[in-house]
């Protein structure tokens, strides 16, 4: 692209799509009208067969012109042979002010870019057409026509999904391993629970069998306690009677001791009388 401001040739992708595709009869007339309409815009050459867009012209694509190009209504291309609208456009573009002239230029360029991006294109230019359809400003469309579009490679497109896929596979493998380990733990716990339940059922059966034995044992214990209580009472009575008899015998011994002492004193007194 020349830096002196001369009209530059269109990018190889767009030029090849323009030259390699065969247009129908109705599209040829529409394209001719678009070329005539776009040639009036600043930065577009006046060639009849192959119009050239001067992408070095920046006055029609500055930041101030983008809001006007977005908010201004996009007029439809006039039918073939309708010279009235073309003449009106020419008169309007000559008499309009700078902002209106800029709006008309942007509208004409938008018509041409819309035709370039929507017409049938070979497989090599489909990425450019897709990027043109996804563009949100005139500057992006100019970048596409300048050939500054960087087509996304398949490797870069699938790199992030591949990383996510590998991460998901790693997580899935870890979860599967944990699931298998938890399944083994569950099987072990179920086996232990089964053993405990069998032990519980066995103890229940044994308790039902030993219930009559416990009842008879309790009955025997009650009878033994009653017999022991009766025996203890009889023994207590015997001890009490023995103590009473011993007390009576002690009283009798004291009486006999006092009687013996009295008789001893009498004998001593009689012996004394005999001696004197």
Give the tens place of pLDDT for each residue, 226-235.
999 999 999 9
pLDDT tier at 146, thresholds 50, 70, 90: low
> For 112-129, what is each residue's pLDDT tens digit?
666 656 655 454 566 667
CA 7 – CA 39 distance, rounded (Å) = 12
Q: Which residue has the higher pLDDT, 266 or 7?
A: 266
Q: How confident is the model at residue 198, as a pLDDT?
A: 93
> How much of the chain exceeds pLDDT 70, in percent?
48
Q: Which residue has the higher pLDDT, 254 or 110?
A: 254
Contact criterion met (CB below 8 Å) for 55 and 43: yes
Q: How confident is the model at residue 15, as a pLDDT?
A: 42
pLDDT tier at 65, thresholds 50, 70, 90: very low
68 Cβ partners below 8 Å, 6+ apart? 99, 102, 103, 106
Give mean pLDDT, residues 36-62: 44
Q: How confident is the model at residue 260, as a pLDDT?
A: 92
């Amino acid at each position: 692209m020349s830096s002196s401001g001369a009209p530059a040739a269109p990018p190889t992708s767009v030029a090849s799509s323009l030259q390699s595709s065969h247009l129908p009869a109705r599209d040829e007339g529409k394209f001719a009208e678009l070329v005539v309409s776009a040639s009036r815009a600043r930065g577009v050459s006046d060639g009849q067969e192959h119009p050239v867009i001067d992408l070095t012209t920046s006055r029609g694509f500055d930041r101030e012109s983008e809001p006007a190009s977005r908010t201004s209504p996009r007029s439809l291309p006039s039918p073939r042979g309708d010279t009235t609208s073309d003449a009106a456009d020419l008169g309007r573009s000559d008499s309009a002010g700078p902002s209106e002239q800029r709006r008309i230029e942007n509208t004409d360029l938008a018509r041409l870019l819309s035709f370039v991006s929507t017409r049938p294109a070979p497989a090599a230019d489909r990425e450019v057409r897709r990027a043109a359809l996804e563009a949100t400003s005139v500057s992006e469309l100019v970048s596409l026509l300048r050939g500054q579009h960087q087509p996304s490679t398949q490797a870069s497109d699938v790199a992030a999904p591949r990383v996510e896929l590998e991460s998901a596979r790693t997580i899935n493998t870890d979860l599967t391993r944990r699931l298998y380990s938890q399944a083994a733990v569950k099987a072990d716990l179920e086996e232990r629970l089964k053993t405990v339940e069998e032990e519980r059922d066995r103890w229940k059966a044994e308790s039902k069998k030993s219930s009559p034995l416990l009842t008879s044992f309790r009955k025997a214990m009650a009878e033994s306690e009653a017999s022991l209580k009766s025996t203890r009472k009889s023994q207590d009575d015997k001890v009490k009677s023995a103590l009473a008899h011993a007390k009576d015998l002690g009283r009798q011994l004291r009486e006999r001791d006092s009687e013996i002492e009295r008789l001893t004193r009498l004998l001593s007194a009689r012996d004394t009388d005999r001696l004197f």
